[in-house]
Amino acid sequence: MDFSSPRWLGGRGAVGGNLQTIWPALYSKRYHGPAPVYRRERWNTPDGDFIDVDFQVGPEGADAAADVPMLVLFHGLEGSSASHYAQSFAHWARERGWRYVVPHFRGCSGEINLAPRAYHSGDFEEIGWVLQALRTRHAGPIVAVGVSLGGNALLRWAEEAGETASAVVRAVCAISSPIDLAAGGQAIGRGFNRHVYTRMFLRTMIPKALRKWEQHPGLFDRERLRAVRDLYAFDNVFTAPLHGFRDTDDYWHRGSAKPHLHRIRVPALVLNARNDPFVPAHSLPRQAEVGPFVTLWQPHHGGHVGFPAGAWPGHVMTLPEQVMGWMVDRLPVDGVGRPGARPA
């Protein structure tokens, strides 16, 4: 990816990384024309819970034809179909007549889920269940994009699925994903990141966890949760024990996609800006570590799910254009793409 941020929005260093993260999320243009419109479906999960899945409605008021390509986007931590990046990918899909779907992780659609669990960065079983359900109902090719947490979970699914992944999707992409969860967790727990990003996430995560305790009294130590001030402590009290991990270190170790990238057997794009405040550049993999099916894009600019472009106040539509250009190259020649379901 050849990407440079606008001159007015910083550069390669920490200041630029933060500006390129915060400004796009708050102020940048995400689409042309009307806002994306979704049709929501509630799916019952195998364990008696539910997730909400948003399907973009086409301009004529109906979903696109069943045999066109489908783009599935898995959102990041505390994200949704309304996140800035989700709206920019929705615009790309709408302009090209693709079907577009945003499955919400449990508890992220505006309504708390029912089961004594939530979601986490290594939730590959949930990713697999969602993709298989979409595969059974959609005749056309499917590609999947995961953003931040959702990207790590998507890669973990591709790693676990191995050769069988290609029967479900044509290609996958992880954007700004903390594929080394320990490195990412340490980065977000220090200095400016701790005071700004950690506080932002905990502002919604702690109340949702307390509502989960009200559903299931005694599920975790409520007073310890009230006292947490960083994601490491939150994961120790809530995320790890609720999802079968011993503690935060065990969760971050077993949930990280980076050590297993060589197992992927479907075309996969891993995009990380080297000035991402959440994902230290020193933790990123090299091409020799990942195997022939994985393509690494590591531009110097972009921040965390930012990649702003254009004149003031900027837009975030370059990101889906470049990512989906790579995806289309992995589709068969069927009227929508160029040749190649092939490893990069």
pLDDT digits (tens, 9 = 90+) for 44-94: 999 999 999 999 998 554 455 668 999 999 999 999 999 999 999 999 999
Residue 188 included in any domain: no
Active site residues: 148, 276, 304
Residue 225 included in any domain: no
pLDDT digits (tens, 9 = 90+) for 208-248: 999 999 999 999 999 999 999 999 999 999 999 999 999 99
What is the model's pLDDT at position 59? 57
d(CA 48, CA 223): 28
pLDDT digits (tens, 9 = 90+) for 98-108: 999 999 999 99
Residue 148 included in any domain: yes
**Percent of the chain residues past pLDDT 90, beyond the cut:** 90
What is the model's pLDDT at position 12? 77
Whether pLDDT at 122 is above 60: yes
What is the model's pLDDT at position 337? 43
DSSP characters for 126-162? HHHHHHHHHHHH--S-EEEEEETHHHHHHHHHHHHHG
d(CA 244, CA 246): 7
**Mean of the pLDDT values across residues 141-155?**
98
Q: Report the number of secondary-structure helices (H) and strands (E) in the chain.
A: 12, 8
What is the model's pLDDT at position 343? 39
What is the model's pLDDT at position 13? 86
Whether pLDDT at 320 is above 90: yes
Contacts (Cβ under 8 Å, ≥6 apart) of 56 = 36, 37, 38, 39, 63, 90, 93, 94, 99, 100, 101
Count of domains for the chain: 1
Residue 273 included in any domain: yes
Nearest-10 Cα torsion for 257, 327, 272, 145: -60
d(CA 181, CA 49): 27
Residue 338 included in any domain: no
Residue 206 included in any domain: no
Partners of 55 in the beta sheet? 39, 101
pLDDT, mean over the chain: 94
Output the domain CATH number for residue 152. 3.40.50.1820
Residue 194 included in any domain: no
pLDDT digits (tens, 9 = 90+) for 189-208: 999 999 999 999 999 999 99
**Mean of the pLDDT values across residues 32-38?**
96
What is the model's pLDDT at position 201? 98
Domain that holds residue 22: 7-180+256-328
Neighbouring CB atoms inside 10 A of 122's CB total: 26
Residue 150 included in any domain: yes
**Mean of the pLDDT values across residues 144-167?**
98
